[in-house]
Structure 1
Amino acid sequence: MEIKSYQNQAEDLVKHYLLADPFLPYTSVLAGIFLCKMVYDLTESFSSIHIKSYSALTKIKRIEWNNRGISTVHAIFISFMALYFVFFADLFSDQRMLHQGLMVFRSSPLSNFGLGISIGYFIADLAMIFWYFPSLGGSEYIFHHCLSGIGVAYSLFTGEAQLYTYMVLISELTTPEINLRWYLDIAGLKRSKAYLINGVAIFLAWLIARILLFIYMFYHVYIHYDQVVQMHTFGYLLVFVVPISLSIMNLMWFGKIVKGLKKTLKKKQ
């Protein structure tokens, strides 16, 4: 009976506090930070036991190895969430405007949870980048994470423009391929067939998720401008400033990806 009582108290705590709408944004952010720590430790444990080359790496390379494990898991999670809300869920559908109001002001507990987890990741990753600066990334990574984190946080805590936030987060589809490229390079497989195939995958994923999808997002904003203009001024500016800034960075990085792929293909000829 005593165990049952504790179980009921725990369920009430989760239901009425941790998962209650007023607390969900905060608990999801904390959950994101906790999950990052957990994935870091699991990556470290798994790699030290099952990957022979891991123990031969320098300390900072092992830290980056584990850090990339975090970013890969986050990318897979948030990409699935983003694809679901953008293309499959009807939360932001135009057909629901009569019942749920303007698309730019809609949110749900699940959409809030996904954004909160992502903010937790950005906080954890930024903390590691600052702590080990510049070993885990230079100023461009700090700018990217700060800009993305501010946009996601605003969307979470105000409930505004969550559809556009998830559209931008689909770009995380490219992260696993980028990390795999680094892992293959560290493992001495830069001349392998897997490295070449992954390079082509990076090119295609980047083109779709970070170039074409951003064009689609700008078109979506254009045809729904009558709704976007009703947002608060800061949110309105974020809808344009964040995607435009990220688009410029994406185009610059895409140019480097194309050059790298061309160089790799020439070596294979």
Structure 2
Amino acid sequence: MEIRELCVVTGSFVTFQLLFSGVSPVLSSTFTQGYSRLPPTKLNEWNSRLVSTIHALIVGLFCLYILWYDDAVNEDPVWGDPNLVKLNVAITCGYLLYDLLLLALNWSTMGDGFFVCHHLAALYAYGYVLTYGLLPYFANFRLISELSTPFVNQRWFFEALSYPRSHHLVVANGVAMAIVFFLVRIAVMPPYWARVFATFGTPEFERLGLSAQVAWIVSCVCLDVLNTVWMYKIARGCYKVITGKGHKPKGAKSSNHTNNHTD
């Protein structure tokens, strides 16, 4: 890893930590009255999700820019010029390290094994990108999935503020979340894997070496399995909201058991 990427990872880690501990509480208490009434455990997750949304918007939009305008990466997906991709990946790695630390420090209230697996698989794969500059197109393509995160987090914000599930904003966000999640995490699988298979047997693929090939394929399989599980949970929750089957009788305790911390 070059000094530039190491600095970006470090800067990203520190920046997201500052956003969590300093910026989010000020912004949230200023614009949302319900924020100050949340219990301490939910305050931590609120701040975490606001930071998650900021990261998703930065990285997701940067990802689209690279896919649309970086011809070198699109023409040579295995060994194309990785400079912009490495910058985007470094931002994400800094965020993932910050989030892993946050989960570890608040495991009793925020811990989720699925997210630890997701973060470790992503860091494992992105480490090759930052170290060797390989697979820039595929690394960047995976980051499209971040565009679904703001909707997932907004769902949690509504629930934390005690919006009824029948509220039109909750329903609209739930439908949008399911649609966007499907588009950027599930529908992209066939074209992604088609391009992966197209590289098999080529000189560029052989040049990667066995360790990079295994890291690439195994991490992608793990991430897609997790995305499929999350899609099932989101679709089930969306169905309940639309049909009204998820509404609880007055006085019943609510449950937040799906997508507790997706990014």
The CA RMSD measured in Å over matched residues stands at 1.8
User: Offset at 1:38?
Assistant: 2.7
Q: Mark the runs of 5 or more structure 2 residues left unpaired by the alignment.
A: 246-263
Moved runs in structure 1, 4+ residues, more than 6 A? Answer: none
Query: Quick one: which of 222, 227, 232 aligns to 2:209?
Result: 232
User: Offset at 1:252?
Assistant: 1.3
Query: Do 2:85 and 2:139's aligned partners in 1 also have CA atoms closer than 8 Å?
Result: no
Aligned length: 242
Query: Do 1:36 and 1:70's aligned partners in 2 also have CA atoms closer than 8 Å?
Result: yes
- TM-score (norm: length of structure 1): 0.85
User: Offset at 1:134?
Assistant: 3.6
Which position in structure 1 is the counterpart of 2:231? 254
Which position in structure 1 is the counterpart of 2:254? none
Q: Report the 3-state secondary structure (helix = DSSP H, G, I; strand = E; otherwise coil) of the residue aligned with 1:91.
A: helix
Distance 1:51 1:93, change over 3 A: closer
Q: Are 1:118 and 2:95 an aligned pair?
A: no
Q: Report the 3-state secondary structure (helix = DSSP H, G, I; strand = E; otherwise coil) of the residue aligned with 1:73.
A: helix
- TM-score (norm: length of structure 2): 0.87
Which position in structure 1 is the counterpart of 2:104? 130
Cα deviations by residue, 1:36-69 (Å, 9 ceiling, x for unpaired): 0232121111112332111111111101100111
Matches of 1:107 and 1:150 in 2, distance apart? 21
User: Offset at 1:87?
Assistant: 3.2
Distance 1:87 1:213, change over 3 A: farther
Query: Do 1:211 and 1:250's aligned partners in 2 also have CA atoms closer than 8 Å?
Result: yes
Query: Quick one: which of 15, 24, 29 aligns to 2:9?
Result: 29
Query: Quick one: which of 83, 100, 118 aligns to 1:109?
Result: 83
Which position in structure 1 is the counterpart of 2:18? 38
Which position in structure 2 is the counterpart of 1:67? 48
Matches of 2:84 and 2:4 in 1, distance apart? 10
Q: Report the 3-state secondary structure (helix = DSSP H, G, I; strand = E; otherwise coil) of the residue aligned with 1:170.
A: helix
Query: Do 1:24 and 1:109's aligned partners in 2 also have CA atoms closer than 8 Å?
Result: no
- Higher relative contact order structure (alpha carbons within 8 Å, sequence separation ≥ 6): 2
Matches of 1:51 and 1:150 in 2, distance apart? 37
Q: Mark the runs of 5 or more structure 1 residues left unpaired by the alignment.
A: 1-20, 95-101
Which position in structure 2 is the counterpart of 1:180? 154
Cα deviations by residue, 1:57-115 (Å, 9 ceiling, x for unpaired): 11111011001111111111111121122233212132xxxxxxx54123343322211
